[in-house]
Amino acid sequence: MNIRLIAVAGLAALAAACASTPPETQTTEPPRTTETTTPPSIDSTPRGPIEGSEEHFVAVAGDRVFFDLARHELTSPARETLRRQADWLNAYPGVSVLIAGNADERGTREYNLALGARRANAARDYLVSLGVSPSRIRTVSYGKERPTCMQSNEQCWSLNRNAITMITDGAVG
């Protein structure tokens, strides 16, 4: 019984110690002044790519168009991307590009190289029809040799069926 009494008294003392609040200390506020200082200006404007750069080209126009299986005809989304590319290229006449035609891993090396060439030429021909000088455009086919995606499934293959437009020289900025 004595142990219980001592335990209860100890708990009561502990509870009383935890419940007490520390004495308040007086704080003094700094004197108020009427003069205000302006913090240094930080330019929080988001920075985009430099106009005329390859990053600007990709951001504004997009750098690739996609094709259906075993096809080189331009789809509506591909034509829209190429229209944006043509607008950008016509705004920066000192820039030249390389269009790389690609294919997925299915098919022979020779077949995919030929298909990649047809895809790159289809993109080039459309850009030329929109006023881009043919002397500013080179084409190459990589066939299935430079895949964007390395998995063997339809989603990945569809990403590899493309023509990629890359700035080669004369970039402004």
Whether 137 is covered by a domain: the verdict is: yes
Whether 47 is covered by a domain: the verdict is: no
- For residue 54, pLDDT over 70 is answered with yes
Q: Is the dihedral of CA 121, 124, 125, 126 positive or negative?
A: positive
98-157 confidence digits (pLDDT tens): 999 999 999 999 999 999 999 999 999 999 999 999 999 999 999 999 999 999 999 999
61-87 confidence digits (pLDDT tens): 999 999 999 999 999 999 999 999 999
Whether 89 is covered by a domain: the verdict is: yes
Rounded Cα distance between 65 and 85, Å, is 11
3 state SS of 143: strand
Please enumerate, as own/partner, the contacts of 131-134 that have beta carbons within 8 Å and a separation of 24 or more.
131/86, 131/90, 132/86, 132/89, 132/90, 133/93
Contacts of 30 (CB under 8 A, 6+ apart): none
The CATH number that applies at residue 116 is 3.30.1330.60
Residue 144 burial (CB < 10 Å; 0-12/13-18/19+)? buried
Whether 65 is covered by a domain: the verdict is: yes
Whether 143 is covered by a domain: the verdict is: yes
3-41 confidence digits (pLDDT tens): 565 655 555 555 555 555 555 555 555 555 555 455 555
Contacts of 78 (CB under 8 A, 6+ apart): 65, 66, 67, 123
Domain tally for the chain? Answer: 1
Whether 13 is covered by a domain: the verdict is: no
Whether 133 is covered by a domain: the verdict is: yes
Query: What is the extent of the structural domain holding 145?
Result: 54-169
Whether 22 is covered by a domain: the verdict is: no
